[in-house]
Amino acid sequence: MSDPQPLTLSGIRHAYGENPVWSDLSLSVSAGEFVALIGESGCGKTTLLRAIAGLICPQAGHIRIDGVSVFKNGQNIVPCEARGVGLVFQEYALFPHMSVRENVAYGLRAPSQSRVDGLLTLVGIGPELAERRPSQLSGGQQQRVALARALAPRPALLLLDEPFSNVDAGRRHALGRLLRRITTEEGASVLMVTHDHEAAMALSDRMVVLGPRGRGVVQDAPPVDVYRRPATESAAEMTGRCSLVPAEVSGQLGQTAVGAVPVSSDAEGKSILVLRPEGLSFVSKSDGAVTVSSVQFAGAHHVLSCDTSAGHVDVIWSSEDAPPDVGTQGSLQATSPAWAIPIP
């Protein structure tokens, strides 16, 4: 019976000498699903993409793509070019001596001008750019061409390695929307590696968080769950600005150095509270134990960095109101419950 999932990995193990990359890694991607893979630098995210594509051979485990075993027990069964996978590298890896049109057509088994032209239109590359070489394109245009080339043979799975790393911040949101729309229209299942937590949360159906080397998957959940209920401190930090504050939790209330904070988890005892800046407010008070150390304007709001006995804590302050001056003393109040991560 055919495996309904475009990608299934089970028990993957790999190491470089004495340094483990993964000791027992398992994950899957369902049909039409967009999955973001995040983790600290050096946890093996890009290595995993290369293993799925067949560019490296792990030491143990099982990889199935579209129901077909492509790797098992230390042996690549199906070569890279026959796996039905589209891979977009961080540096795009376009062929410099080929035109845009030739790059997109490269992966097709049989020439199809209509397929090439249709994809170029889909990714927003007009006829005036189709005969140019990659060096004559902007970074964003090269990304679009690389995406079109990867999608040309209608792969069962699309692998994206840091797709926004070479695109300026002003273009990332537009390119992210384009990427999601195109992959949805093409019916592609996607596994994306990225350090851009905003893109990961905005685009993905699920986020898979890898722990430090050797730990494998530490959380696999929808983006809103990873953000609101992170399994680890690193997962909390990788999904957005936060402050990690020690607490003694009892009865859904955490006692901290900055005061009592309501807790939304079932943790009891010694824990780490994940304080998101939008869940806190600063109240000026002349004898307060909290001091504003910096104020950053962030468009829709200001970010107050506050010195507390528990360390720096960030707080959102509406840009409609004048923020307090640096040096202002006061206290912090929780405007929504924090998430508590138990300390083992």
Distance CA 201, CA 226 (A): 9
Please tell me the predicted confidence (pLDDT) of residue 316: 95
- 3 pLDDT exceeds 80? no
Q: What is the CA radius of gyration of the chain?
A: 23
Phi, psi of 321 (to 5 degrees): -115, 145
Pick the residue with more confidence: 139 or 117?
Answer: 117
CA dihedral (123, 124, 129, 134) positive or negative? negative
Is the torsion defined by CA of 218, 221, 222, 228 positive or negative?
A: negative
Evaluate if residue 173 carries a pLDDT over 70: yes
Q: Is the separation of the CB atoms in 94 and 145 below 8 Å?
A: yes
Q: How confident is the model at residue 4 (pLDDT cuts 50, 70, 90)?
A: low
Q: What percentage of the chain's residues is helix, strand, coil (to nearest 5)? A: 25, 35, 40
**In this predicted model, what pLDDT tens digit does every residue of 13-51 receive, in sequence order?**
988 887 888 888 999 999 999 999 998 887 888 889 999
User: Which of 83, 113, 86 minimizes the C-alpha distance to 101?
Assistant: 113
- The amino acid present at 189, given as its one-letter code, is S
| Neighbouring residues of 8: CB distance < 8 A, sequence distance ≥ 6 | 28, 62, 63, 64
Q: Report pLDDT for 40.
A: 85
Cα(106)–Cα(75) distance, rounded to whole angstroms? 28
Distance CA 30, CA 35 (A): 9
- Segment 210-233 shows an average pLDDT of 89
Residues 82 and 102: their CA atoms lie apart, in Å, by: 20
Query: Which residue is it, tokens 């992959």?
Result: 183
pLDDT at 1: 40
The rounded Cα 87 to chain-centroid distance in angstroms is 17
Q: Any residues with CB less than 8 A from the CB of 273 and at least 6 apart, and which?
A: 244, 245, 246, 247, 249, 254, 256, 261, 263, 338, 339, 340, 341
For residue range 178-220, list pLDDT tens digits in order: 888 888 888 889 999 988 888 899 999 999 999 877 678 999 9
The residue among 58, 74, 63 whose CA lies nearest residue 22 is 58
Q: Collapse the DSSP code of 206 into the 3-class scheme (helix H, G, I; strand E, B; otherwise coil) and give the result.
A: strand
The pLDDT of 76-93, averaged and rounded, is 87
Please choose, from the candidates 181, 167, 171, 234, the residue with its C-alpha nearest in 3D space to the C-alpha of residue 207.
234
3-state secondary structure of 297: strand
CB contact set of 68 (below 8 Å; sequence gap of 6+): 3, 78
Top-level class of domain 7-84+155-228: alpha beta
Is 183 in contact with 29 (CB distance < 8 Å)?
no
CATH-assigned architecture of domain 242-342: Beta Barrel (2.40)
> Any idea where the domains of the chain sit in the sequence?
7-84+155-228, 242-342
